[in-house]
Amino acid sequence: MKGFNVDKKGYLIFEHQFFMTPIGLFDDENSLTAYEMLVFTYLMRCSTGGKFPFPSLATISRKCKVSLSTVQRALVGLEEKKFITKVNRQQVKQNLSNMYRFGTK
Protein backbone atom coordinates (compact mmCIF):
# COMPACT_ATOMS: atom_id res chain seq x y z
CA MET A 1 0.00 0.00 0.00
CA LYS A 2 1.37 3.37 -0.98
CA GLY A 3 2.01 5.67 1.98
CA PHE A 4 1.92 2.87 4.54
CA ASN A 5 4.55 0.79 6.24
CA VAL A 6 3.99 -2.26 8.38
CA ASP A 7 5.74 -2.77 11.70
CA LYS A 8 7.16 -6.10 12.92
CA LYS A 9 3.79 -7.14 14.33
CA GLY A 10 1.98 -6.40 11.06
CA TYR A 11 0.34 -3.14 12.17
CA LEU A 12 0.08 -0.29 9.71
CA ILE A 13 2.34 2.72 10.25
CA PHE A 14 0.97 5.90 8.69
CA GLU A 15 3.68 8.10 7.21
CA HIS A 16 1.46 11.06 6.36
CA GLN A 17 -0.37 13.60 8.44
CA PHE A 18 -3.98 13.11 9.42
CA PHE A 19 -7.00 15.36 9.11
CA MET A 20 -10.06 15.34 11.33
CA THR A 21 -13.70 15.07 10.36
CA PRO A 22 -16.60 16.37 12.45
CA ILE A 23 -18.17 13.64 14.56
CA GLY A 24 -21.62 14.87 13.51
CA LEU A 25 -20.88 13.88 9.92
CA PHE A 26 -21.76 10.32 10.89
CA ASP A 27 -25.01 11.16 12.69
CA ASP A 28 -28.23 9.85 11.13
CA GLU A 29 -29.95 13.24 11.15
CA ASN A 30 -27.47 14.50 8.57
CA SER A 31 -28.67 11.76 6.20
CA LEU A 32 -25.69 12.00 3.88
CA THR A 33 -25.27 9.27 1.32
CA ALA A 34 -22.06 7.26 1.30
CA TYR A 35 -20.88 9.18 -1.78
CA GLU A 36 -21.71 12.55 -0.21
CA MET A 37 -19.69 11.57 2.87
CA LEU A 38 -16.80 10.42 0.68
CA VAL A 39 -16.72 13.61 -1.40
CA PHE A 40 -17.16 15.85 1.66
CA THR A 41 -14.33 14.07 3.45
CA TYR A 42 -12.10 14.45 0.40
CA LEU A 43 -12.91 18.18 0.22
CA MET A 44 -11.94 18.50 3.90
CA ARG A 45 -8.67 16.71 3.14
CA CYS A 46 -8.00 19.28 0.39
CA SER A 47 -8.59 22.25 2.71
CA THR A 48 -5.36 22.05 4.65
CA GLY A 49 -4.25 25.22 6.37
CA GLY A 50 -7.78 26.61 6.59
CA LYS A 51 -7.92 27.32 2.85
CA PHE A 52 -10.99 26.65 0.77
CA PRO A 53 -10.51 23.57 -1.42
CA PHE A 54 -10.75 23.82 -5.20
CA PRO A 55 -10.07 20.38 -6.71
CA SER A 56 -11.44 19.76 -10.20
CA LEU A 57 -14.32 17.33 -10.71
CA ALA A 58 -11.88 15.00 -12.47
CA THR A 59 -9.52 15.08 -9.50
CA ILE A 60 -12.33 14.37 -7.02
CA SER A 61 -13.50 11.52 -9.25
CA ARG A 62 -10.04 10.01 -9.54
CA LYS A 63 -9.13 10.37 -5.86
CA CYS A 64 -12.48 9.06 -4.60
CA LYS A 65 -12.54 6.31 -7.26
CA VAL A 66 -16.05 7.17 -8.43
CA SER A 67 -17.49 8.44 -11.72
CA LEU A 68 -17.80 12.12 -12.62
CA SER A 69 -21.60 11.87 -12.51
CA THR A 70 -21.40 10.41 -8.98
CA VAL A 71 -19.21 13.34 -7.91
CA GLN A 72 -21.64 15.82 -9.46
CA ARG A 73 -24.64 14.21 -7.70
CA ALA A 74 -22.75 14.17 -4.38
CA LEU A 75 -21.83 17.86 -4.71
CA VAL A 76 -25.44 18.79 -5.50
CA GLY A 77 -26.60 16.81 -2.45
CA LEU A 78 -24.01 18.49 -0.23
CA GLU A 79 -25.15 21.91 -1.43
CA GLU A 80 -28.83 21.09 -0.92
CA LYS A 81 -28.08 19.87 2.62
CA LYS A 82 -26.04 23.03 3.24
CA PHE A 83 -22.74 21.29 3.91
CA ILE A 84 -20.96 23.22 1.16
CA THR A 85 -21.37 26.30 -0.99
CA LYS A 86 -19.91 26.15 -4.49
CA VAL A 87 -18.07 29.28 -5.67
CA ASN A 88 -17.29 29.64 -9.37
CA ARG A 89 -13.72 30.80 -9.95
CA GLN A 90 -12.85 32.63 -13.12
CA GLN A 91 -9.98 34.55 -14.56
CA VAL A 92 -10.10 36.65 -17.69
CA LYS A 93 -11.31 34.37 -20.51
CA GLN A 94 -10.58 31.27 -18.45
CA ASN A 95 -12.74 29.05 -16.28
CA LEU A 96 -11.06 27.50 -13.27
CA SER A 97 -12.15 24.67 -11.01
CA ASN A 98 -14.87 25.54 -8.50
CA MET A 99 -13.96 26.46 -4.95
CA TYR A 100 -15.95 24.92 -2.12
CA ARG A 101 -16.76 26.62 1.16
CA PHE A 102 -17.98 24.61 4.10
CA GLY A 103 -21.45 25.64 5.22
CA THR A 104 -23.63 28.25 3.59
CA LYS A 105 -21.80 31.53 4.27
Query: What CATH number is attached to the domain comprising 64?
Result: 1.10.10.10
Residue that wins the pLDDT comparison between 36 and 50: 36
Question: Does residue 8 form part of some domain?
Answer: no
Total domain count, the chain: 1
Q: Which amino acid is at 50?
A: G
Average pLDDT for residues 47-63, to the nearest whole number? 86
The four Cα atoms 86, 103, 76, 25 give a dihedral, to 10 degrees, of: 140
Residue 44 belongs to some domain of the structure: yes
d(CA 21, CA 56): 21
Q: Is residue 81 part of a domain?
A: yes
pLDDT digits (tens, 9 = 90+) for 18-44: 777 888 888 877 789 999 999 999 998
Residue 1 has what pLDDT? 54
Is pLDDT larger for residue 65 or for residue 105?
65
The set of residues, in sequence order, having a beta carbon less than 8 Å from that of 87 and lying 6+ positions away, is: 52, 98, 99, 100, 101
Residue 13 within any structural domain of the chain: no
Residue 60, pLDDT score: 95
pLDDT at 2: 58
Q: What is the pLDDT of residues 61-104, one digit of tens each?
A: 999 999 999 999 999 999 999 898 888 876 767 667 888 888 86
Q: Is 86 inside any structural domain?
A: yes
Decide which of 101 and 6 is more confident: 101
